[in-house]
Structure 1
Amino acid sequence: MADVLERVFQKYKQCVLENPQNIGKVESACRMMSYLISGKSHNSLILSELLYSSSNLMVLLNDAILQKATKIVPKVSMSQERLMYYVTLTEYIEVFVELAARRLWGEIGSWVMITAIQILKAALRFLLLFYYKSGIQPSPPVPPVNRETFDAALLHEFPKNGEPDLPDDDSGDDDENQDNLLQLKTFTLKRSGRVMRRLSDAPPLHMRDWKLPAKVKETDKNPESTVPSILNTQRMCAESIHIMKPITHLLSMYIFGQASWKPWLVACGMDISSLSAMGNPEELNTQERGELRRRTLMMLYYLFRSPFYNRISEAKIILLLKILADNIPGMSLFLKPLMEYLPYWQKVYFYIWST
């Protein structure tokens, strides 16, 4: 049985390496299906989330295959990489686990699972922060990679065993190797000398442009561009506050009740304190600056978090969506389903309180 599974996986791996763009279409189709079936029946919400979580796990697996093959990902220790994948897997399935627990064990069972997941994520993130010095951690720690780097032409020279026939990182022949690969994707007109892309190596229709294929960016190949910054004491405290916020919020809800303003104020205050204590973001690397921008934008979620949403923002948000749906042609197709889905979305803890 193990041999059969190994052969199936090797065939799947080779399929991913030879057809990265088509695999991306399958991933997008699965994600789109999760949106389409949502709200169609009594069990549609949990089925939709199961399909959405599965599509994310498929992306994670396919990215891992492509990353290992192309060898352009910064190298970290195997134990640190494993912890990062654990956190990412947890974040991908947490909504489905919450909904499944509520269906199986009721409201109390769902809160037990929510608390267990948040404690697990916090423990793993603290281990990454203090033991592995991972710096400011993104959410998820293993984000989806840029698939444009892995188009079919770049992987055209891969042998059947799924491993790339590329030089080692320290061989010094990366530029020459990429030039050879680019020659496979283009040809030069004899009279004008103009370089053209081969039709067989053109990307999908929705991604096509008039630009020639580019080399892999140095920032994608260079591990130094993604090396975590060494955080000083102030930033370590700020990151610790960010990691502890979900557990503190759950504890305050248990003490003061879900309808109280105190859990909302405690969580909001911790987010503001964490962002303020980070200081000048220019001293951080590109990924860490992007994560701080994401956290800043996530502050808008406090408009949808109870009790602020129930008492203040709900009526205003619904009114704004109705005005846009009634006055902008075509917007009703998107906004009316959104208005119907908002009450369900707002009740799922991990949709609005995941980080």
Structure 2
Amino acid sequence: MRISVPHIPQASLLAKASGIQYSREEAVERLYNFFRAGKTTVLTGAGVSVDSGIRAYRGPDGRYMNPNYKPIFYHELVDETEKGRYFRQRYWLRSYLGYPPVRDAQPNPTHFALASLQQNGDIPNIITQNVDGLHHKALILGARQSWPAERLEQSILELHGTLHGHVLDRGVFQDMLSQANPQWHKFAQEMETGKESRPRTNPDGDIAIEHLGISYQDFIVPACPTCLSEGHHNSVHKPEVVFFGESIKKEVRERSYHDIESADQLLLIGTTVATYSAFRLVKHALELKKPAILLNVGPTRADLLPNLEKINMASGSVLIDVAKLLIGTRMNDPVLEAMLRSGVVNPPTPDDDDRAPRAAG
């Protein structure tokens, strides 16, 4: 079985720019009227988290910013041979160093705009391809924990899992990695204090560190403590993230279809729709004749689909104003007012681009 990293088809990359060229004011009005037309399920991608400082995989031209990008595939991570052990050393060293920036990232205005519209009843469901947990964080911070945990879980579906989940608490496992690898713990602390420059962090917490001239083989991945207590050694730790080549759980797939079917329309934000798990949801919505808009900068896999309206614009420039218009007379609600004033805007620097050849990562 051949497994490959998802790409946008060449036909989409080479196609003439699609979509109506809206001014910012026109885009706000169009999205305002779209939301007013019915209950909207929202599907988000990595572009939503860029203003939080989490770098997207693809640039405005739709191509990977690191052309040599080589993720770990599912079958590699769980391989019980010596080769698999090396893949786990590679994955967990990079994730150990790359997790803190994602863990500490804060929601940006797009996250809070969407959270306010959830609170307002305009968005019954968000399906996100992101594993950073920022949609949850925005709702919890914005609503001041007024939403019960069950409602929170029902309103946000993490299509590809979460970087914060693990059989062990992720913070506990991070501490285990620190204790097992004191030299890397010291390096991580030096990155935190600025003594060492921080490598670029990808949306899944992965970083490329080959330029440091290190070997993954000296990184120790602790054995599963539960397994040891049962009398066998097992170092196959896996985060609650869907890896390339791994199937999405049946209940997640079914719920994603339900969220599409139960809404009146679909809004896609900050996604190139390159993964098939997301692309099939767009196709399903269109097959059901549901109105759909794509808000994204640059080409996407869905550009050539008929009846999909596209607004070529970053979400951070419009969604707060859309939310303010929709909430309107409820702006005397202190919770909603606070949410619409919240959010960091701390995108990666303009020179944070990997197009120059470098080591695979």
TM-score range, shorter chain: under 0.3
Q: Which structure is larger by alpha-carbon Rg, 1 or 2?
A: 1
* Higher RCO, 1 vs 2 (CA within 8 Å, ≥6 residues apart): 2
Larger proportion of helix: 1
